[in-house]
Amino acid sequence: MASSSDVTSSADHTPENPESGSVPAASEATDGPAGRGRVRARRAAVMAVPAILVAGALAVLTAEGALGVQFAISGMPFTVTATELNGTGFEQFGGLDTMAPGSPNEGDTGGQVLIVTSAIKNATLTKLCQSVDLGGTNLLITAGGGAEKVTASDLTTDSTELSGDAAFNNIEIGNDASTLTKAGVKGPIGVFSQQADTVRIANLRQTNYATTAGVFKLPGLKLGFSSKGC
């Protein structure tokens, strides 16, 4: 991605009229291949500025938690299970995930999946299992089965199904998703949400389309193929 310093550098090397110190007139700039090149360079520099400003604004919003990290999902759901999840700073709200244009997995959905985003500031998971059905076989990942548990910070999961035995401390239900404060993530304005100081879910089972984390530590990680999923 170009930076503002890149744009300034390009502008500094754009030739100017030595007599007037101003940008040459269009009739002067288009005389010959060199002149046409100068016009293209100026146009490219001007067009780059809005893109830089937008990218900079998005970076600031993401850092402030106003936007979640967005990417095109594959459209292939995966299963996540854990015997126990404990978290501090919990938020949950609805949203839409979008597949890449022309994805073969979009079916009749138009490439969009209605999901529930769960955000946890800090989480520990015991006996984590994740599996993806590849059609006849499963890609299987396990971790945290020993004394050391899986840990994650700034964890978000986009799910279509979630089950388990849950307990919350200081829960708030019915918040506007744009006003959430517990996990540092804000959802869309006008969307129903809930948040709590802490969350505990025993026998967790999720069907997910996306997961993100600032830091994800997986002690005892094992990856392989299996006839059975989680």
Q: Which residue has the higher pLDDT, 197 or 45?
A: 197
What value does the mean pLDDT take over residues 176-187? 96
When pLDDT is averaged across residues 30-49 and rounded to a whole number, the result is 46
**Distance of alpha carbon 42 from alpha carbon 145, whole angstroms:** 59
Let me know if 71 is exposed, middle or buried by CB neighbors in 10 A (0-12, 13-18, 19+): exposed
Mean pLDDT of the chain: 80
Q: In angstroms, how far is the first alpha carbon of the chain from the final one? A: 40
What are the pLDDT digits (tens) for 137-154? Answer: 999 999 999 999 999 999
pLDDT given for residue 1 in this prediction = 45
pLDDT score for 49: 41
Instruction: Specify the pLDDT at position 53.
Output: 39
Contact of 189 with 65, CB cutoff 8 Å:
no
User: Is residue 171 classed exposed, middle or buried when 0-12, 13-18 and 19+ CB atoms within 10 A define those classes?
Assistant: middle
% residues pLDDT > 90 (the chain) = 68
pLDDT at 7 over 60: no
pLDDT at residue 5 tops 70: no
Q: For residue 43, is pLDDT > 80?
A: no
Q: Which residue has the higher pLDDT, 43 or 91?
A: 91
Mean pLDDT of the region 70-97: 95
Q: What is the pLDDT of residues 191-229, one digit of tens each?
A: 999 999 999 999 999 999 999 999 999 999 999 999 999
| pLDDT number for residue 35 | 53
The alpha carbon torsion through 213, 215, 217, 223 (nearest 10 deg) reads 50
Position 34 scores a pLDDT of 52
The predicted model scores a pTM of 0.71
pLDDT digits (tens, 9 = 90+) for 93-129: 999 999 999 999 999 989 999 999 999 999 999 999 9
